Amino acid sequence: MAEIYLGIIGGGQLGSMLSVAAKKLNIKTAIYCDDIDAPAQKFCDEFIFGKYDDKEKISKFIEKVNIITYEFENIPYETLNEINKKKSVLPKPSINRLIQHRLAEKDFVNKLNIRTTRYALVEKKEDLDALKDFLPGILKTTTMGYDGKGQYPITKIEEIDSLKIDFSKNYILEKLVKLKKEISVIITRFGINKYEIYEPIENTHEDQILKCSKIPAEISAEIFNQSKNWAISIAEELKYIGTLCVEFFIDRNENLYVNEIAPRVHNSGHLTINAFNVSQFENHIRAVCSLEKVPLKKLSNAKMINLIGSQIEPYRQNIQLKDNEFFFDYLKKEIKDKRKMGHITTLI
């Protein structure tokens, strides 16, 4: 087979881990990113720095590669769509456009008869007056949010003024779910009814940022099956190619809700690197590059802890790891508050 050169848009830790997985399959990677310090440049074969609307630099990138994928969803649709006219972009740009918009995403999920939190569009401050029923809730920007950014928990309408919210953007107001647990399901789809799916992963967040993921998730058989079935329906309906993650809420009455979909590999799936024969990253590469689908085998239970901000420091000081512990340093240039710096996976 001719050599495959994979283009990846985005150069964070997910891009790094995708590049590492590609290398294992003898696939070269070129990364395009708008951050000159992007950590993934240390792991890929070629790094191109440029803005996401820089046509010239993007053309150079397109020429290099055969297939293009992305490690984060906040890429302008126009950019992905233009690239797709020259080289195939997977997952398809239209899928990314749908999922990167919280309202369109939730409407889509509801049309499949899959439960989400209750939500309403907020285009201007006054819209909130009619939405008291959605409180307590969280106001979220419709686009560009991640790791809790662009989110405002609200208990009473009167709080709005002190929050200094920029109403030139659109928001959705989501009713707060009384959470019992959060889980995610990662699935890699290769074609019609052709997929590999990981078991549900149990997640805990701190300050709306993922802190810890583990398998097995402590959930009922009903939730186990329903979450997997919903993830399969979503992937099939989207005709998705590659790895996708569905984040779920479980409330105190054991109701399952889809929180959001990530059209990409996901932080909660980092433990698949050590706990399965094929990681979410390798599976993504296999699917977008039309390689063979390998049946998934679980090797171990596992727990992953994100190292956020300065939590990475002790691990960088030559800490002694046990045989069942795996430390990943994303090699980001600067330690910043709330920034994911690395993770540690323990096989249990």
Applying CB under 6 A, the residues found at the interface with ligand ADP are: 117, 138, 145-148, 174, 176-177, 179, 182, 205, 208, 247, 259-260
Q: Which is nearer to ligand ADP, 102 or 286 (CB)?
A: 102
Look at residue 218 and give its three-state secondary structure: coil
The Cα–Cα gap between 107 and 101 comes to 10
Q: Which is nearer to ligand ADP, 182 or 202 (CB)?
A: 182
Residue 157 contacts which entry, Mg ion, ligand ADP, none (Cβ below 5-8 A, type-dependent): none
**Interface region with Mg ion, contact rule CB under 5 A, candidates 52-60, 194-202, 221-229, 241-249:** 241-249
User: C-beta of 210: minimal distance to ligand ADP in Å?
Assistant: 7
User: C-beta of 251: minimal distance to ligand ADP in Å?
Assistant: 9
Q: How many C-beta neighbours within 10 Å does residue 270 have? A: 28
Residue 196 contacts which entry, Mg ion, ligand ADP, none (Cβ below 5-8 A, type-dependent): none
Residue 199 contacts which entry, Mg ion, ligand ADP, none (Cβ below 5-8 A, type-dependent): none
User: Taking CA 196 as the corner, what is the angle to CA 144 and CA 261, rounded to the nearest 5 degrees?
Assistant: 20
Burial state string for 299-332 with b = 16 or more CB within 10 A and e = fewer than 16: eeebbbbbbbeebbeebeeeeeeeeeebebebeb
The Cα–Cα gap between 287 and 295 comes to 13
What values do phi and psi take at 45, rounded to 5? Answer: -85, -35
Residue 197: enclosing H or E segment and its boundaries? strand 194-197
Sheet with strand 5-9: strands edge to edge: 46-49, 28-33, 5-9, 67-70, 88-89
User: C-beta of 248: minimal distance to Mg ion in Å?
Assistant: 10
Q: Which is nearer to Mg ion, 71 or 247 (CB)?
A: 247
Within 244-283, which residues bind Mg ion (CB under 5 A)? 247
Residue 335 contacts which entry, Mg ion, ligand ADP, none (Cβ below 5-8 A, type-dependent): none
Residues that bind Mg ion (CB under 5 A): 247
